Structure formats: structure tokens, C-alpha cells
């Protein structure tokens, strides 16, 4: 090559490679965000499962949710919060956080919510 086209391939590579790498990192960021969403949902379900037992409580559910986040979400979910509300008949758990950041400026929030009834012993009466 000679003349005005000299260096065109180098310029194309200089523009194309960073763009392709950025797109690959965006795909990885999206995948991590999806996975973090599944982890916080699982933590919310675990929290409800523990809190809805007859001898369970909101504190027991919060500990169970945090334990699952520590095991499965370590390094994946930042800024974690687990809130379990138990009433006389139902339990609700909300787990929030942010997916780990791969692409600067993409701190994507994740939220998991689960609900269920409180288990209660009901005596069978004779007829």
C-alpha cells in the first residue's frame, strides 16, 4: 500500500478492538447482573423458608438470607441488605444489593423478593 491508504488498517484496528472489547465487557456485566439477581432471589426464598417455620422469626430469616449471600454471592453482590418482615400469618423477605462492577459506571441494582405463609400447628378436632 502506498499513498493515502497507508496506515488505514492500523487505524481500523485501533478503533475496532476497543469497541469489541467494550461490547464483550458489557455482555459479561449483563451476565453477572442476571446471576446476581438469581442469587438475591434465592437468598430471599431461603430467608422466607427459615422465617416461616413455626418456631422461626424475622431474625432467623435474615441470618439465613445473609448466610446464603455469603456462600453464593460473595464477591458478586455488593451493598447487601436483607429485611424480613414476619406477621401473624405471612412472611416477606426483601434482599437488595448491587451487581459487581466490571464496566465502570454500570453499578446495576438487584432485588429479590419472596413471600409465604407462616406455618402453624392446627389441631384436628373429632366430629
pLDDT band at 6 (very low <50, low <70, confident <90, very high): confident
Please give the grid coordinates belonging to residue 82: 436483607
Residues in the chain: 127
What is the model's pLDDT at position 27? 96
pLDDT of 75 higher than 80: yes
Instruction: Kindly state the average pLDDT of the residues 53-82.
Output: 92
Least confident segment among 28-37, 72-81, 87-96: 72-81
Whole-angstrom CA distances from 6 to 3, 15, 16 are: 6, 16, 17
pLDDT band at 94 (very low <50, low <70, confident <90, very high): very high
**6-117: what fold?**
3.30.1300
Q: 81: which residues sit within 8 A by CB, 6+ positions away?
A: 95, 96, 97
Amino acid at each position: 500500500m502506498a499513498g493515502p491508504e497507508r496506515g488505514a488498517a492500523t487505524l481500523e484496528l485501533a478503533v475496532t478492538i476497543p469497541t469489541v472489547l467494550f461490547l464483550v465487557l458489557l455482555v459479561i456485566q449483563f451476565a453477572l447482573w442476571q446471576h446476581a439477581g438469581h442469587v438475591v432471589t434465592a437468598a430471599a426464598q431461603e430467608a422466607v423458608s427459615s422465617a416461616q417455620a413455626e418456631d422461626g422469626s424475622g431474625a432467623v430469616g435474615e441470618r439465613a438470607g445473609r448466610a446464603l449471600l455469603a456462600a453464593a454471592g460473595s464477591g458478586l453482590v455488593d451493598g447487601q441488605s436483607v429485611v424480613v418482615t414476619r406477621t401473624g400469618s405471612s412472611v416477606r423477605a426483601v434482599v437488595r444489593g448491587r451487581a459487581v462492577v466490571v464496566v465502570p459506571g454500570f453499578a446495576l441494582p438487584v432485588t429479590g423478593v419472596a413471600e409465604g405463609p407462616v406455618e402453624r400447628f392446627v389441631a384436628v378436632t373429632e366430629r
